[in-house]
Amino acid sequence: MQPPEKTETSRPSLRRQDGVCTIKNFAFASGERIDELRLHYTTLGTPAYDAAGQICNAVLLLHSSTSNRMQWVTGALERSLFGPGQVLDAGRYFIIAPDLIGHGQSSKPSDGLRTRFPRYRCRDMAAAAHLLVTQGLKVNRLQLVMGTSLGAMLTWVWGQMYPESAARLVPIGAYPLPLGGRNWIGRRMMIEAIRHDPAWVNGDYEQRPNSYLYTAPLLTLMAQSVQQLMDLAPDQRSADRYYGQLLKRVAQHDTNDLLYILEATQDYNPTV
- Of the candidates 215, 243, 212, 216, the residue with the CA atom closest to the CA atom of residue 229: 243
If asked whether residues 155 and 72 sit together in one domain, one would say: yes
If asked whether residues 30 and 134 sit together in one domain, one would say: yes
What is residue 14's predicted lDDT score, i.e. its pLDDT? 83
Q: Name the strand (E) or helix (H) holding 259.
A: helix 255-263
DSSP 8-state code for residue 55 = B
Tell me: the pLDDT tens digits for 98-153?
A: 999 999 999 999 999 999 999 999 999 999 999 999 999 999 999 999 999 999 99
| CATH number of 61's domain | 3.40.50.1820
Q: What angle do CA 269, 20, 151 make, to 5 degrees?
A: 25
Instruction: State the average pLDDT over residues 82-111.
Output: 96
Per DSSP, the three-state class of 242 is helix
Q: Is residue 90 part of a domain?
A: yes
Tell me: the pLDDT tens digits for 8-49?
A: 554 556 889 999 999 999 999 999 999 999 999 999 999 999
- Of the candidates 27, 7, 26, the residue with the CA atom closest to the CA atom of residue 17: 7
If asked whether residues 210 and 114 sit together in one domain, one would say: no
Tell me: the pLDDT tens digits for 201-254?
A: 999 999 999 999 998 888 778 778 889 999 999 999 999 999 999 999 889 899
If asked whether residues 212 and 117 sit together in one domain, one would say: no
What is residue 79's predicted lDDT score, i.e. its pLDDT? 85
Question: At which of 154, 172, 190 does a domain end?
Answer: 172
If asked whether residues 261 and 237 sit together in one domain, one would say: yes
Does the predicted model carry a pTM greater than 0.85? yes
If asked whether residues 137 and 210 sit together in one domain, one would say: no
Tell me: the pLDDT tens digits for 43-79?
A: 999 999 999 999 999 999 999 998 999 999 988 888 8
If asked whether residues 17 and 130 sit together in one domain, one would say: yes
Question: At which of 172, 201, 232 does a domain end?
Answer: 172
Number of domains in the chain: 2
CA distances 225 to 48, 59, 71, 176, 185, Å, are: 41, 30, 21, 21, 18
Q: Is residue 155 part of a domain?
A: yes
Q: Is residue 43 part of a domain?
A: yes
Q: Is residue 247 part of a domain?
A: yes
Tell whether the torsion through CA atoms of 269, 106, 169 and 79 is positive or negative. Answer: negative
Q: Is residue 272 part of a domain?
A: no
Q: Is residue 47 part of a domain?
A: yes
Radius of gyration of the chain (CA): 19
If asked whether residues 107 and 229 sit together in one domain, one would say: no
Question: At which of 125, 149, 172 does a domain end?
Answer: 172
If asked whether residues 196 and 144 sit together in one domain, one would say: no
| CATH number of 234's domain | 1.10.1740.110
If asked whether residues 125 and 244 sit together in one domain, one would say: no
The letter for the amino acid at 32 is: E
Angle subtended by helix axes 150-161 and 122-131, to nearest 10: 70
Residues in the chain: 272
Q: Is residue 17 part of a domain?
A: yes
Which residue range forms the structural domain that includes residue 152?
Answer: 2-172
SS3 of 113-171: CHHHCCCCCHHHHHHHHHHHHHHHCCCCCECEEEEECHHHHHHHHHHHHCCCCECCEEE
How far apart CA 194 and CA 75 sit, in angstroms, is 31
What is residue 70's predicted lDDT score, i.e. its pLDDT? 96
If asked whether residues 105 and 21 sit together in one domain, one would say: yes
- Of the candidates 194, 207, 208, 21, the residue with the CA atom closest to the CA atom of residue 96: 21
If asked whether residues 164 and 200 sit together in one domain, one would say: no
What is residue 10's predicted lDDT score, i.e. its pLDDT? 47
